[in-house]
Amino acid sequence: MKFLAITSLLILFLSSSCKSKDGNEIYYCPMHPSYTSNQPGSCPICNMTLVKQEQSNPSSEHQHLDEEHSEHEGMDMDEQDPNSTLSAADMKQSKDPVLTLSYEKQQSIGIVTGKVERRDLNKVLLLYSTVAYDPELYNALVEYKSARRSDEFFSEGERSDMPNLELRLRQLGLAKEQIRLWTSSRRYPQELILGGKAGRGHIYSQIYESDLAIAKAGMKIEFTTDVYKNKVFLGEVKSVDTILDTNNRTLRLRSEVSDPNQLLKPQMFGQTKISIPKKNILSIPTSAIIDTGSMKMIYVKVSPDKFKPTQITTGVAMDNYTEVISGVEEEADVVIESTFLIDSEAKIRFGSKTHNHH
């Protein structure tokens, strides 16, 4: 009897084990496929909700991907396993690996796509600024004007300080047109140290080197200061300095604003706002772009379950969008959310090949 009881318990245990292995539903973590459970719940590693397994064992699939990656590292493109996610045919078609993700996988890591489109964008620069107090430039202008008057009393060739004095003004940031303006009767150097006496204020702003390409003389500006909280002083950029400040990588913008009541005082702090509209710009959401340091890349959706890493050339960033110069066609569908997660998945499968695009 004792033998029969033990035998019965052993049979019951074995049947229960088999049912758990073959009959119960299996759940796995999308980010850590090696972890499985026979009931719903959360991954103990990353706390992500477990996903029901529908076909193959994810742990064995993950092991297969690891083996596939190690094999790919040591094989030429033509020698790779044609049954792997990155087939030899795919590699012959393109040097870029194509990542295959099921719909469930896309949902689990939160992939969202958007179109490459032409948009009207607006670049806004907010620049730290001060009302001008520039005794150095004032003295240089006074000396230059004095030298011009003195030259009138000398014959040609007897005195020639003018080129050096003009070079000094250029080094202080004035273009040739600005030199002519400041040495004419339309501007008075005293404005640079005493403030605007002719209904205008002079504003100096710092612009970063990265924005220099879009900074031009003639752009409209709005200057505000905490001293006059509800007052906006309107004007325009008059010139851009030519020498970069190597400490903070900035250049100085010189602007003039309307100040008929002479409210602005030298060295008063404020902020300059410049809005630069761009029409019909081919662009993508900035969130779609992965900057590797040596290049910028995106993931293009080439079919419902396939994504191709693609190198692009970008232009200016405006609002939440970035201009696309080359690398992707208009109307292409690109990943705009969970970009780094899909890139991590590609690195797991393909290693460094994912970022080797030329």
CATH 2.40.420.20 domain range(s) in the chain: 82-120+279-355
CA 117, 119, 125, 126 dihedral sign is negative
- Predicted TM-score (pTM) of the model is 0.58
CATH number of 82-120+279-355: 2.40.420.20
pLDDT digits (tens, 9 = 90+) for 5-19: 444 444 444 444 434
Residue 151: band (very low, low, confident or very high) from pLDDT cuts 50, 70, 90 = low
pLDDT range class, residue 119, cuts 50, 70, 90: very high
Q: Which residues in 67-79 are b (16+ Cβ under 10 Å) and which e?
A: ebbeebeeeeeee
Mean pLDDT over 320-349 rounds to 92
Beta bridge partners of 71: none
Look at residue 321 and tell me whether its pLDDT is greater than 90.
Answer: yes
Query: What is the DSSP annotation of 290-302?
Result: EE-SS-EEEEEEE
Q: What is the pLDDT of residue 75?
A: 39
Residue 219 has pLDDT above 80, yes or no: yes
Q: How far apart are CA 219 and CA 214, in angstroms?
A: 10
- Mean pLDDT to the nearest integer, 72-96: 41
- Dump pLDDT digits (tens) for 259-306: 999 999 999 999 999 998 889 999 999 999 999 888 999 999 999 999
pLDDT at residue 154, as a whole number = 54
On the CB side of 244, CA atoms within 13 Å amount to 10
The pLDDT value given to residue 72: 41
Mean pLDDT of the chain: 79
Nearby residues of 154 by Cβ (< 8 Å), 6 or more positions away: none
Q: What is the reported pLDDT for 301?
A: 96
pLDDT at position 354, please? 56
Q: Which amino acid is at 287?
A: S
pLDDT band at 141 (very low <50, low <70, confident <90, very high): very high
Confidence of residue 152 (pLDDT cuts 50, 70, 90): low
| Cβ contact 120:279 at 8 Å | yes
Least confident of 51-65, 140-154, 256-270: 51-65
